[in-house]
Structure 1
Amino acid sequence: MEELILQNRLRHARSQRHLSQGELAQLVGVSRQTICSIENHQFCPSARLALLLCIALEQPFETLFYFEDPEQPEA
């Protein structure tokens, strides 16, 4: 089975809400560096943190997070 990579639209959703990384971090109880790492795909959030981010950004999970198949060419 091929490995799927969890991607996110966190930066886009955050900017739509006019929130800085620090403001979003404060809303969900993590550091600004954690938000930065998630946005740069260096850190995969736990299920709890992903849910908190969805709530804070008022986005459904499937809108904010998605799987990318490394074998699938980008459109």
Structure 2
Amino acid sequence: MKNVRLKMARVEHDLSQQELAKKVGVSRQTIGLIELGKYNPSLQLCLSICWSLNKSLDELFWMDPE
């Protein structure tokens, strides 16, 4: 499942995948894979991304059970 909320938050902060990746200490490819829903980040990485984008875990990563 794609993470559209992450991409939208990143774009709101005018950050490229590369810029966000550098802030949180991962590769650009990792951010791209998270946005595509092809990589399940660790809790620590999720928190780092949230802090960088001033968002909560719920805002970026919560998935409703389906």
TM-score of the two chains, using structure 1 as the length reference: 0.80
| 1:42 aligned partner | 38
Measure how far apart 1:28 and its partner are.
0.1
| AA at the equivalent of 2:11 | S
**Structural RMSD (CA):** 1.5
Unmatched 5+ stretches in structure 2? none
Structure 1 Cα separation of the partners of residues 65 and 47 of structure 2: 22
Q: Residue in 2 aligned with 1:28?
A: 24
Could you list the runs of 4 or more consecutive aligned residues of structure 1 that deviate by over 6 angstroms after TM superposition?
Answer: none
Bigger Cα Rg:
1
Larger helix share, 1 or 2: 2
TM-score of the two chains, using structure 2 as the length reference: 0.90
Report the Cα offset of residue 68 of structure 1.
3.6
Secondary structure (helix, strand or coil) at the match of 1:69 reads coil
1:14 equivalent to 2:6? Answer no
Flag the structure with more relative contact order, 1 or 2, with Cα contacts below 8 A and sequence separation at least 6.
Answer: 1
Distance 2:64 2:30 in 1: 21
1:48 Cα offset (Å): 0.3
Percent same amino acid among aligned pairs?
45
Higher share of residues assigned strand: 1
- Pairs aligned (count): 65
Q: Output the amino acid matched with 1:61.
A: L
Q: CA deviation at 1:69?
A: 2.8
